[in-house]
Amino acid sequence: MVRSGQTGLRQDTQGAPEHGESKSKQKPVANRLYQTSTMAALLDAVYDGETTLDELLQHGNFGLGTFNALDGEMIVTDGVARQFRAEGVAAEVPGSLKTPFACVTYFEPEQTVSIDEPLDKAEFEALVDRLVGNPNLFAALRFTGLCEKVDTRTVFCQCHPYPPMLEVVKKQPTLTLNAVQGTMIGFRTPAYMQGINVAGYHVHFLTEDQKRGGHVTEYKVTRGTLEVATISDVDIRLPRTQQFAQANLSPDHLHQAIQEAEGG
């Protein structure tokens, strides 16, 4: 009985369709957002995920996130994941490292504009909003150029029992980069997705020399190139961990808490 059903069973369970697809020469789907876990889970101290960097990078070559135990900020540029730890120093990471929250895509810009006058954060975001148009879709953006100022922060490795993120961010190391050349990448999430992701803008920065950066809280761009793409295709992988099962993902004041944790 076991044998008679084995062939079919094996095809289903051993076919490993995900691996098969990712290893094939098929061109990846552009501008599809692949996300692990949710922002609300991170806020509730679900700091350990199941997704390795190797797996994550099969779904995108551009993005951001954090690492298990909240051990630094992540930026993914040109298919390379980097980790910013204390002092915002960047290092390449092994593919075996895991992430509790990350967003990646194969970014293919749909619009490219030159910026040749200084824009503060609000002006820059308004420009992206104008380019993207539809406020109810996600967008990915990349700015490459000179910034008058970039304020970044880096979360640092936490020990069990994990404290809530709002406590962690109060002690976060910050770094201000002045007159710095680099790349700022990230996503704009529609307001109705608050908690699933970070509603509004979430961007990370990497200096041109690829040595420093982090999660961006404030900035002013001087000149450079802005590229944007609209995202309507979203793939969210929810953890099957005990931590996630026990998390409170609809807390009171979710919006305020995320703004405090991810904002300035």
Distance CA 148, CA 215 (A): 17
Residue 188 vs 215, nearer CB to Zn ion? 215
Residue 227 vs 262, nearer CB to Zn ion? 262
Q: How far is the CB of 11 from Zn ion (least distance, A)?
A: 41
Residue closest to 67 by CA, chosen among 87, 40, 37: 37
Q: For residue 129, what is the enclosing H or E element? A: helix 121-132
Tell me the backbone φ, ψ of residue 25, rounded to 5 degrees.
Answer: -90, 10
Residue 242 vs 256, nearer CB to Zn ion? 256
DSSP secondary structure letters along 50-69: SEEHHHHTTS-SEEEEE-GG
Residue 119 CA to its chain's centroid (Å): 23
DSSP-derived 3-state class of residue 94: coil
Binding footprint of Zn ion, residue count (CB under 5 A) = 1
212 binds Zn ion, rule: CB under 5 A: no
What burial class does residue 91 get, using C-beta atoms within 10 Å of its C-beta: 0-12 exposed, 13-18 middle, 19+ buried? exposed
Contact 144, 112 (CB under 8 A): no
Applying CB under 5 A, which part among 4-12, 115-123, 172-180, 211-219 lies near Zn ion? 211-219
Applying CB under 5 A, which part among 10-18, 34-42, 133-141, 210-218 lies near Zn ion? 210-218
Applying CB under 5 A, which part among 24-32, 39-47, 205-213, 215-223 lies near Zn ion? 215-223
Distance CA 61, CA 185 (A): 12
At 224, the amino acid letter reads G
Q: How far is the CB of 258 from Zn ion (least distance, A)?
A: 11
Residue 212 vs 215, nearer CB to Zn ion? 215
82 binds Zn ion, rule: CB under 5 A: no
Residue 184 vs 231, nearer CB to Zn ion? 184
Q: How far is the CB of 203 from Zn ion (least distance, A)?
A: 8
215 binds Zn ion, rule: CB under 5 A: yes
Q: How far is the CB of 42 from Zn ion (least distance, A)?
A: 10
Contact 1, 220 (CB under 8 A): no
Applying CB under 5 A, which part among 103-111, 142-150, 166-174, 214-222 lies near Zn ion? 214-222
Q: How far is the CB of 196 from Zn ion (least distance, A)?
A: 15
Residues that bind Zn ion (CB under 5 A): 215
